[in-house]
Amino acid sequence: MPKVKVPRKSTAIDMTAMCDVAFLLLTFFILTATARQPEPLPVDTPASTVKVKLPELDIATLTVGQGKVFFGVKGQQVRELLLDKMAKKYSIQFTPEERKRFSLMESFGVPMANLKQLIALSGDERNRLGLQMGIPTDSIDNQLNEWILQARYATKELHNVDMRISIKGDSKEQYPTIKKVIDILQKQKINKFSLITSLRNEAK
């Protein structure tokens, strides 16, 4: 008996359309993605059920963790003006080069005296764990208070809106540290601010 020949079909599929779709989506996601900035002080934010997104502009972030406070404000122009104001206040001279480098720093945590050294470091070195010791918050030399105040002036001057303040705390952080930061804000009559949280998956 002759064998019944099954016609062999080619397994190759035309992938042109699939490739088109894949790259279209890829382009979309690349364009909408915002690159995540490396943080000098990594914190684990507590979860909550609120679904309000953080605004992108005119907001300062106080990162609190391991008893240290870091300060960061959004917007390069705001940061440049802020550095000018702080330089005048503490009478430290910054070169245009240093201003440029400072305007690219998302967040930092050193006393005013060490700021020049920090600016001179490269991005990788700057974010090394434990290098930055936090901004002084004690009552004798309350530099955090000054940073917040000047940042508010700078934002108002440039954009004519009130700067918002958000606190990004580590979930393991003891309450007294948070309280100290809140007290500094309240002294400046800032009674409204945001706490940054991550999204809780299910309503527990």
Partner 1 sequence: MAELNTSGGGDKKGGKVRSKKMSTRVDLTAMVDLAFLLITFFMLTTTLAKPQAMDLAMPDKDEKNKDAKLEVADNRTMTILLGSTNRLEWYMGSVDKPLTPPTVDNFGKNGIRKAILEEAKKVQGITGDSKKGLIVLIKPSEKSNYKNLVDILDEMKISNVQIYAIVDITAPEIALLKRDNIY
Which one of the spans 95-103, 125-133, 155-163, 193-201 is the region binding partner 1 (CB under 8 A)?
193-201
Residue among 6, 15, 129, 140 that touches partner 1 (CB under 8 A): 15
Residue among 30, 91, 124, 139 that touches partner 1 (CB under 8 A): 30
- Is residue 26 a contact point for partner 1 (CB under 8 A)? yes
CA atoms within 13 A on the CB side of 80: 12
On whether the CB atoms of residues 133 and 110 are closer than 8 A, the answer is: yes
On whether the CB atoms of residues 165 and 17 are closer than 8 A, the answer is: no
Residue among 42, 50, 67, 125 that touches partner 1 (CB under 8 A): 50
- Is residue 170 a contact point for partner 1 (CB under 8 A)? yes
- Is residue 36 a contact point for partner 1 (CB under 8 A)? yes
- Is residue 85 a contact point for partner 1 (CB under 8 A)? no
C-alpha span between 93 and 87 (Å, rounded): 6
- Terminus-to-terminus CA distance in the chain, angstroms? 71
Q: Write the DSSP symbol of residue 130.
A: T
- Is residue 174 a contact point for partner 1 (CB under 8 A)? yes
- Is residue 58 a contact point for partner 1 (CB under 8 A)? no
The enclosing H or E element of 154 equals helix 143-159
On whether the CB atoms of residues 74 and 56 are closer than 8 A, the answer is: yes
Q: State the residues that interact with partner 1 by CB under 8 A.
A: 12, 15-16, 18-19, 22-23, 25-26, 29-30, 32-34, 36, 45-55, 64, 166, 168-176, 178-179, 182, 185-187, 189, 191-200, 203-204
